[in-house]
């Protein structure tokens, strides 16, 4: 159960787009379309923003989009806003009723 790999940081100016990658293996991201993304503001619980690779829960702005290619998933935040500054985590089903998360990416809005 190795953690998924994310860059520790990402940044962009308001209005710009930024993409965060999440690298896994053929046993997790590559094997299932059960990749999720979570946004976490300081001292808050994580919040689901993407599920099943590309789907947004109700209420999540369409500025958040995601995709997957092979063993790597990606989250794109378009039209950056100040309130997007947060930590982002990817997660994936890893088979055998087990799950794995990424180490997180701190997004800074410059």
Partner 1 sequence: EVQLVESGGAFVQPGGSLRLSCAASDVIFSETSMHWVRQAPGKGPVWVSRIAPDGFVTTSDSVRGRFTVSKDNAKNTQYLQMNSLRVDDTAIYYCVRDTYYAFDLWGQGTLVTVSS
Q: Does 24 bind partner 1 (CB under 8 A)?
A: no
Closest separation in Å from C-beta 20 to partner 1: 13
Helix (H, G, I), strand (E, B) or coil at 35: strand
Instruction: Find the binding residues for partner 1 in span 38-77 (CB under 8 A).
Output: 38, 45-48, 51-52, 57
Applying CB under 8 A, among 18, 36, 66, 68 the residue interacting with partner 1 is 36
How far apart, in Å, are the Cα atoms of 101 and each of 3, 55, 79, 108?
6, 18, 26, 21
34 Cβ contact partners less than 8 Å away, ≥ 6 residues apart: 51, 52, 53, 92, 93
52 Cβ contact partners less than 8 Å away, ≥ 6 residues apart: 33, 34, 35, 36
Cβ-based nearer residue to partner 1, 1 or 17: 1
Cβ-based nearer residue to partner 1, 83 or 98: 98
Residues at the site binding partner 1, with contacts judged by CB under 8 A: 1, 3, 32, 34, 36, 38, 45-48, 51-52, 57, 89, 91, 93, 96-104
């Amino acid at each position: 159960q190795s953690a998924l790999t994310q860059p520790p940081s990402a940044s962009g100016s308001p209005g710009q787009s930024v993409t965060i990658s999440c690298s896994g293996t053929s046993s997790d991201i590559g094997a299932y379309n059960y990749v999720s993304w979570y946004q976490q503001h300081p001292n808050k619980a994580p919040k689901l923003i993407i599920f099943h690779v590309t789907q947004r829960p109700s209420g999540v702005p369409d500025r958040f989009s995601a995709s997957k290619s092979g063993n790597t998933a990606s989250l794109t935040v378009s039209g950056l806003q100040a309130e997007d500054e947060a930590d982002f985590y990817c997660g994936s089903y890893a088979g055998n009723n087990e799950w794995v998360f990424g180490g997180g990416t701190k997004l800074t809005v410059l």
